[in-house]
Amino acid sequence: MNKKVKSLNHLKNITVDASKITAKKFIDASENAKDNLQKNLNDLKDASKSTAEKVKTVSKNAKKTITKTSEDIAKKVNIKSIKENIEPPLNKSKENIQKNLNDLKDATLDVSNKVFTASEELINSVKDNIKAKTFTKSLYIQYFGKEMSEDYLIEQFKVKWSESKKLSDVKDLKIYYKVEENTAYYLVNNETTISIKFL
C-alpha cells in the first residue's frame, strides 16, 4: 500500500510540475509575442512617420520646383493666366496630400492600439485561467464510525514532533494512514519516519 501511495504521490507531483512548467512556458511565450508585437508596431509607427516626412519633403520640393518653373514660363511666355491656372490645383493637391498623410497616421495608430489591446486581453485571459485552476482541498477518512481529517493528522504530528525536534526542520511531510492498524505513519523530509497510533 505504501508503494502505491508513494507512486500516486510521485505521479501527482510530476503532473503538477508539468502543468506549472507548461503554464509558465505559455505565459512566457505570450509575453514574448506581446513584446515582439509591440516592437513591430513601434517599427511600423516609425516607418509611417518617416514615410510621411519624406512625402511632405518631396511635396514641398515639388511645389517649389513647379512654382519656380511656372514663374520662369510666365516670364518667358509672359502669360499671366498660366500661373493663375496652375497655382490653385497645386495648392489643392498639397492639401489632399497632407489630409491623406494625417488619415494614414490616424489609421496606423488605431490599428496599433487595437493589436496592443488584443494582446493584453489574451495575456490577462491566460493568467486568469491559470489562477482559476487553484482550489482548496480537505481529506477525511471515515471507517467503522470514526473519522480522521488531514488537519487532525497534521496537528497530532506537530505535537509529537515538537516534543523532541523543531517544526522549522520540516521541509516535506508525507502521511500514510493505515485504517486496519488505526495508525498514521509520517515520513519527514524523505528520511525520518514516526508513527502515531490512535484509539
Q: What is the mean pLDDT of residues 121-132?
A: 69
What pLDDT is recorded for position 124?
A: 73
Beta strands in 19-166, from DSSP E residues, in sequence order: 140-143, 146-149
Least confident residue range of 44-53, 113-122, 123-132, 155-164: 123-132
Q: What is the mean pLDDT of residues 153-182?
A: 93
What pLDDT is recorded for position 102?
A: 80
In a domain, 70, yes or no: yes
| Single residue among 116, 132, 148 that ends a domain in this structure | 132
Residue showing cell 510666365 = 74
- The reply to whether 128 and 73 lie within a common domain is yes
Determine the Cα–Cα distance for residues 55 and 97; give it in Å rounded to an integer.
8
Task: State pTM to two decimals.
Answer: 0.35
| Single residue among 132, 151, 181 that ends a domain in this structure | 132
Domain, as residue range, for 86: 13-132
- The reply to whether 118 and 146 lie within a common domain is no
- The reply to whether 187 and 146 lie within a common domain is yes
Determine the Cα–Cα distance for residues 47 and 44; give it in Å rounded to an integer.
5
In a domain, 61, yes or no: yes
Q: Is the dihedral of CA 77, 81, 85, 86 positive or negative?
A: positive
Q: What is the mean pLDDT of residues 117-121?
A: 74
| pLDDT tens-digit map of 49-79 | 777 777 678 777 777 777 776 666 656 655 6
What pLDDT is recorded for position 34?
A: 80
CA 163, 167, 171 angle in degrees (round to 5)? 140
Q: Please answer whether residues 34 and 115 qualify as being in contact, where contact means their C-beta atoms are separated by less than 8 angstroms.
A: no
- The reply to whether 35 and 105 lie within a common domain is yes
What pLDDT is recorded for position 133?
A: 61
- The reply to whether 41 and 78 lie within a common domain is yes
Determine the Cα–Cα distance for residues 199 and 183; give it in Å rounded to an integer.
9
- The reply to whether 98 and 157 lie within a common domain is no
Sort strands 192-197 and 183-188 into parallel, antiparallel or unpaired.
antiparallel
| Single residue among 80, 102, 132 that ends a domain in this structure | 132
How many domains, the chain? 2
Beta strands in the chain, from DSSP E residues, in sequence order: 140-143, 146-149, 173-178, 183-188, 192-197
- The reply to whether 17 and 68 lie within a common domain is yes
